[in-house]
A = this chain, B = another copy of it.
């Protein structure tokens, strides 16, 4: 029988009035673990006891526990209750990042990596820009702080803490031109530290990322990916790139045990985990899982982007860099010469602070969930042999086609139906080929074109 929690003198500083009881409770629990007030191994009170103690519904506590188990803060076993996991430990389910893409020739574009740019909030964006410029002094027009505008870094720190559980102070944030720029800067830092360092990177992903890493001094080692996410096999690497929330493009999440293993590896070897949280806000079946960064802020560089939430054309991304590396990454950015315009940084800051960014994400989440549901229903009807895998999240799905089919034949058939779609092979490192599959991006088509696009894809898939 575990001692009641109160005996450990834990004070959650909880103010559980109001509508966000569960989020507040989760945040308080995470904070208690992070700061050591809840030490690893401590057993938590039952959800019933804690609920009674706090005067809230038992389900709220149970949900919060479940979330923190998924994120790897807590361990749980039926019959043994819930305890604080060992640190570095943990695991949850968070997400991955796509890259540059040429324009499609086909009328219906179901390639992955591009969001519903037709839903870009043009009016609200312009209004935010106008308001921000009107309020700004002349200083913002001069040569900017190499980390990015303070206004944007402050807005991002608040947003990332709130929405993704990221531990971010404005001083640790570096604004960059999308994920690819951030990745290039990190690789430059790593290759300044060591000669030809190894970057472990998931064997499935945008091959452009591997080319960028190689061009910036890294040797590439591919990490196998299975149903539990990337295999924690980064022994000789200086750094590992992961898409924990939503593997790109396989769509699985990184399992708790794998997260724990990567964090242990990082703590043991000094390795750097690069968390590519490209679509972390877009989880449909449950509340998004917090970023892996919060588990080990000193080992993880968190990378986020506006490319999926708003538009790739903005070329706005951000890194949250541990204290021990921040100066090196700033130097790498200065010496790369790349930087974002200050007016767009101001605009994004104003857009976030006005609540427009959250609103945009809520709407997009709804849109993508519906599109995903429609895609699933259509495939089930027209091409039942095709199997959609991966979690209900993001802007893309992996569709495994029957093994006797040839991937290139399938994409050719789709093209003849006017649909551009990529085969998995395009996203696969040599030696890691799997069975035939399509990476279907359901974000890009305009709303009016989506039904036709899916219909044509189904027609192509049914035609064997």
Contacts and interface: CB of A to CB of B under 8 A. Distances in A.
A181 B129 contact: no
Contacts of A336: 181, 184, 336-338
A133 to B, nearest CB: 6
Given A177-B339, A178-B339, A316-B341, A311 B142 contact: yes
A247 to B, nearest CB: 21
Contact of A337 (B133, B142, B143, B182): B182
A442 to B, nearest CB: 15
Contacts of A181: 336-339
A436 interface: no
Contacts of A341: 313-316, 340-341, 344
Given A122-B133, A181-B336, A341-B341, A140 B313 contact: yes
Number of copies: 2
A50 interface: no
A385 interface: no
A54 B444 CA distance: 59
Interface stretch (A20-28, A75-83, A210-218): A210-218
Interface residues of A, number: 58
Contacts of A139: 103, 117
Nearest to A338: B338
Nearest to A185: B337
A6 interface: no
Contacts of A126: 126, 129-130, 133
20 contacts: A103-B139, A114-B143, A118-B138, A122-B133, A126-B133, A138-B446, A141-B311, A176-B337, A178-B339, A180-B337, A181-B336, A211-B335, A212-B334, A313-B341, A314-B342, A315-B339, A336-B337, A338-B338, A340-B340, A344-B344
Given A101-B142, A114-B142, 5 more contacts: A144-B315, A177-B340, A181-B338, A184-B335, A313-B341
